[in-house]
Amino acid sequence: MRELTYAAGLNGLTFSSDGQRLAGWADDGTVPIWNVQSGEFIAVLRGHGGRITRAEFGSDGRRVSTRASDGFGVGAVWDARTGELLTPFFKNLANGTSFSRDGTMVFRLDENRRPRVLDAATGEPITPLLSLSAEAAEGSLSADGRYLVAAYRDGKARVWKLPRDQHAVEDLVLLAQVLAGHKLTTKGAFMPLEATVLSNGWWKLRTTYPDETRLSRSGPPQPTTNR
């Protein structure tokens, strides 16, 4: 048995995915990271002004996301090897806020409990506010960062496919022209800019910043044609 000691009281611990590192979160607002084999400190994350409530390694073990109780909740992403702060502190985080596994995106709810995904490095929005009639209770980003799922208080779960193509609309118009005469089918989810090319030569460009896709057994939506 090996004991790992720390100056402040620890409220929780989490392993990296390879089991080589261990991070704890403490009452004094710090996150110590140990090498499991040697028991030595790798880094101590410092900067939160309140009690740490959560810490989590990214999928590659190189980053750690944290959340603390200072203010209405503050979150950040850190380099797990050096302790360097990699993102701004995200303040006023509502319940259910989480970072993607690679630490590059953050999911949060605004004051009206509408979900949105932000770039963790800059704080800039990746999606608009995903507003629906019901309030979201909590949400999570998939491990590969491609999907957002949110649980709603009306008893439904909604899934969005997050945008990956940042090309200008004009580029997609040209792509649609090149692909005219071929048929593209949807997969039951929406990209932010989607060129739908129909087999009869008609094409149209749809700008559908991530739209609602409900969990159901029904097939994907079918494109309409001009006759």
Q: Which amino acid is at 95?
A: N
> Architecture of 103-162 per CATH?
Beta Barrel (2.40)
Residue 29: name the closest of 60, 62, 67, 71 by CA.
67
| CATH number attached to the domain at 1-93 | 2.40.10.480
Look at residue 222 and tell me whether its pLDDT is greater than 60.
Answer: no
**Using one digit for the tens of pLDDT, what is the confidence trace for 104-120?**
888 877 777 888 888 87
The answer to whether the predicted template modeling score (pTM) of the entire model surpasses 0.95 is no
pLDDT(99) > 80: no
Segment 164-179, tens digit of pLDDT: 554 444 454 555 555 5
Residues in CB range of 193: below 8 A, 6 or more apart: 163, 165, 167, 169, 172, 205, 207
List every span in the chain annotated with CATH 2.40.10.480.
1-93
Instruction: Show the tokens assigned to 15.
Output: 């392993």
Instruction: Provide the 8-state DSSP code for 80.
Output: T
